[in-house]
Amino acid sequence: MKINSLALFNVRNHSRSYFELHDEIIFTGANGSGKTTVLEAAYLLLAMRGFRKQPVSGMVSFNEPFMRIEAETEENGFKREIKLKYDGKKYLSADEAPVESVSDYIFSVPVACHTPENPGILSRDQSERRSFIDRFAFYAEKRHIDDIRSYKRLITQKAAELEGERPDKTYIEVLNEEIIKLSLLISERRKSVIAAINKDLEKLYEESAFKMDPVFISYKTNVNDRSLLEKEIVKKRCDYGVHRDRADMCLNGKLIEKFSSFGQKKTFSMLALLSAAKHIEELRKISIITLLDDFEAGLDGKRAELLRERFSNDRQAIYTGVENIRLGFKNTIFLQG
């Protein structure tokens, strides 16, 4: 899939902006010119959430009552007009008809994104790393997002019961039965995504171009340790389940974030994103739009070119950068500050 055009109304410093997009394109301009906002608007339109931690309301231009994002998308020659309006609530439509199922819609328009604030598998918070894996698990199996939501509700209910003065053991056991079932399903899907990423990473690092040792994602889960459930009433906390899963990128048996340079870490996290996208593309016979913010920062010229070749191959890739000198993108949109 690709985006042919993108229009922003009252989105931060974009009061009224219209862009025609290519399969490969870079937005350039000084800091504060609105480059990242363009990517976040595209991501919000496709994923129904921003890639920053702030609420969506923070994207609305100052003193404006609403914002609107519009795009023409195309897949296999079929074009569709998508519109998202936000005025405190989200209103999503496709070809002027309201979208009834947001989950179905998000599943139909997969997107991969890497930004300095959202580095995916190398995010500082493990919950954000799990979210990175879960998004691709959802693109592989639509049911995954419903299972995640159900799991979170059950954990919330159990946590509230455990914190009470007299926890109801029978009620907790009933909750645990469902929590175990969902934990097993969720962890298996996460393992499947990570296994696919690791397999592709192994192939990438066998190429002489990168000249690096193999890197892989380590995944740890406690879903097979039921003894943790027996101790939860005493500890008054939920220790069992996939909300405790850990995902770490390793190089030579060591955690990457402990010793790698900024450029190495960025390369690793972007390659993990690329591998995850390729997994879904091969599984579903589709192409995934990729959004790459501040792309060249921290990368030497050779590594930036290698990454660009892989991201721009057979999919739409939209980049941002302060300038377009080293890589010489053919299609450039310069934003005034």
The answer to whether residue 118 is domain-embedded is no
Note whether 216 and 279 are same-domain residues.
Answer: yes
Query: Angle at the Cα of 108 (from 16 to 36), degrees rounded to 5?
Result: 35
| pLDDT, tens digit, 9 for 90 and up, residues 28-81 | 999 999 999 999 999 999 999 988 878 999 999 999 999 999 999 999 999 999
Choose the final residue of a domain: 257, 283, 309: 283
Cβ proximity of 247 and 194 under 8 Å? yes
Cβ proximity of 19 and 37 under 8 Å? no
Structural tokens at position 5:
């055009």
Non-local (6+) Cβ contacts of 204 within 8 A are 210, 271, 275, 310
In this prediction, residue 208 carries a pLDDT of 59
Number of other residues whose CB lies within 10 A of the CB of residue 137: 25
The answer to whether residue 117 is domain-embedded is no
Non-local (6+) Cβ contacts of 78 within 8 A are none
In this prediction, residue 211 carries a pLDDT of 66
The answer to whether residue 159 is domain-embedded is yes
Non-local (6+) Cβ contacts of 165 within 8 A are none
Give the number of domains in the chain: 2
Choose the final residue of a domain: 237, 264, 283: 283
Range of the domain at 68: 1-110+286-337
Note whether 66 and 184 are same-domain residues.
Answer: no
Note whether 302 and 187 are same-domain residues.
Answer: no
Q: How many residues does the chain have?
A: 337
Note whether 191 and 259 are same-domain residues.
Answer: yes
The answer to whether residue 202 is domain-embedded is yes
Note whether 96 and 11 are same-domain residues.
Answer: yes
The answer to whether residue 261 is domain-embedded is yes
200: domain CATH number is 1.20.1050.90
Note whether 277 and 291 are same-domain residues.
Answer: no
What pTM was estimated for this model as a whole? 0.94
The answer to whether residue 104 is domain-embedded is yes
In this prediction, residue 223 carries a pLDDT of 97
Query: Which residue in 90, 94, 97, 55 sits closest to 78, CA to CA?
Result: 94
Residue for token pair 């931060």:
12
Note whether 195 and 173 are same-domain residues.
Answer: yes
* Secondary structure in 3-state letters for 259-314: HCCHHHHHHHHHHHHHHHHHHHHHHHCCCCEEEECCCCCCCCHHHHHHHHHHHCCC
Low-confidence ranges of the chain (pLDDT < 50): none
Note whether 130 and 273 are same-domain residues.
Answer: yes
The answer to whether residue 36 is domain-embedded is yes
Note whether 242 and 307 are same-domain residues.
Answer: no
Note whether 131 and 254 are same-domain residues.
Answer: yes
Note whether 136 and 260 are same-domain residues.
Answer: yes
Q: Quick check: helix, strand or coil at residue 105? A: helix
Choose the final residue of a domain: 267, 283, 299: 283
Note whether 169 and 316 are same-domain residues.
Answer: no
